[in-house]
Amino acid sequence: MKSQFRHVALIGKYQAQGSRSVLEDIAQFLGTQGCEVALEQDTARNTGLSQFPTLDAAGIGAQCDLALVVGGDGTMLGIGRLLAQFGVPVVGINQGRLGFITDIAFEDYQNTLEPMLRGEFEEDRRWMMKAKVMRGGDCVFTATAMNDVVVNRGATSGMVELRVEVDGRFVANQRADGLIIASPTGSTAYALSAGGPLLHPSIAGWVLVPIAPHTLSNRPIVLSDAGEIAIELVAGRDASASFDMQSLASLLHGDRIIVRRSEFQMRFLHPKGWSYFDTLRKKLHWNEGVA
């Protein structure tokens, strides 16, 4: 039985050693499954693979019914943010380190992918975040994030002071090295290392996590993702806002970072029987040393 996906886009972490041969092998495998294969344009340019048609993100959104990402979570998030508006589902083959969302092991990708291409998979939809930086009455920066929006102090400066509001209501002024607003997907990233809780992907919420707060009673808090979070820079030098650690905005005193839920969801496809808890247990090394 051949693939139910007719046109598959292949996206690779082309900086990795041996990525050209890996992508070539996967493309040939997809062809044996009856898929028409296209390479994402940066992947094709940087690997020198010229035997396949190339598409940019908009072309993938218009022409492809599946995107197959070979790399780590960063590669997955980068293309996923661009494809979410088109509703193209994404599958990840892990060639990175942790791989919370690129969950197919490269060593066994053929056995895992074959039934998925036939339609045997679990679909996992994740809301994205949209953010903007307001300066006075003007929007000076916009971005979309899947993991987190982070306000950080400068590398050589002291703490920042941030005014936090939720749905227009004042929460607190916080002095800290920074503040993280993380989605359930991002709860296993920077927010986790800063002491935040894990959020199951089915929870319609965000976690607000201070980074090294001046007052230890400033603790992480879980909020609904249906509202709006506003963070105003009150004091601090060389502060910035980052969005999935990909795009960066320099901040001035009085700037406000406004975060709301995006209208788009990222669609992840996992092997049949996939479990979020299996992923946590494996990636966070739970149960190790237990008899």
Divide the 291 residues of the chain into consecutive groups of 10 and give the mean pLDDT of each group: 87 71 92 95 88 95 96 87 94 80 87 95 95 96 96 87 97 96 95 96 96 92 97 94 90 97 95 91 80 52
Q: Which pLDDT score is estimated for 73?
A: 84
Q: Which pLDDT score is estimated for 98?
A: 64
7-119: CATH, from 3.40.640.10, 3.30.559.10, 1.20.1250.20, 3.40.50.10330: 3.40.50.10330
DSSP H helical segments within the chain, as ranges? 19-32, 41-47, 57-63, 73-83, 109-117, 190-193, 276-283
Q: Is 73 a catalytic residue?
A: yes
Q: Which pLDDT score is estimated for 96?
A: 65
Q: How far apart are CA 121 and CA 203, in angstroms?
A: 21
Domain boundaries for CATH 2.60.200.30 within the chain: 128-263
* Position 162, amino acid: L
Q: Which pLDDT score is estimated for 254?
A: 97
Q: Which residues of 197-225 are buried (b: 16+ CB within 10 A; e: fewer)?
A: eebebeeebbbbbbbebeeeebebebeeb
Q: Which pLDDT score is estimated for 15?
A: 61
Q: Which pLDDT score is estimated for 1?
A: 58
Domain boundaries for CATH 3.40.50.10330 within the chain: 7-119
Chain centroid offset of residue 284 CA: 18
Q: State whether residue 160 is helix, strand or coil.
A: strand
Chain centroid offset of residue 53 CA: 27
Q: What is the CATH number of domain 128-263?
A: 2.60.200.30
Q: Note the pTM of the prediction, 2 decimals.
A: 0.90
In DSSP notation, the chain reads: ---S-SEEEEEE-TTSTTHHHHHHHHHHHHHHTT-EEEEEHHHHHHHT--SS-EE-HHHHHHH-SEEEEEE-HHHHHHHHHHHGGGT--EEEEE-SSS-SS--EEGGGHHHHHHHHHTT-EEEEEEEEEEEEEEETTEEEEEEEESSEEEEE--TTS--EEEEEEETTEEEEEEEESEEEEE-TTGGGTHHHHTTPPP--TTS-EEEEEEES-SSTT---EEEETTS-EEEEEEE-SS-EEEETTTEEEE--TT-EEEEEEEEEEEEEEEETT--HHHHHHHHTTTTTT--
Active-site residue (options: 73, 177, 244, 255):
73
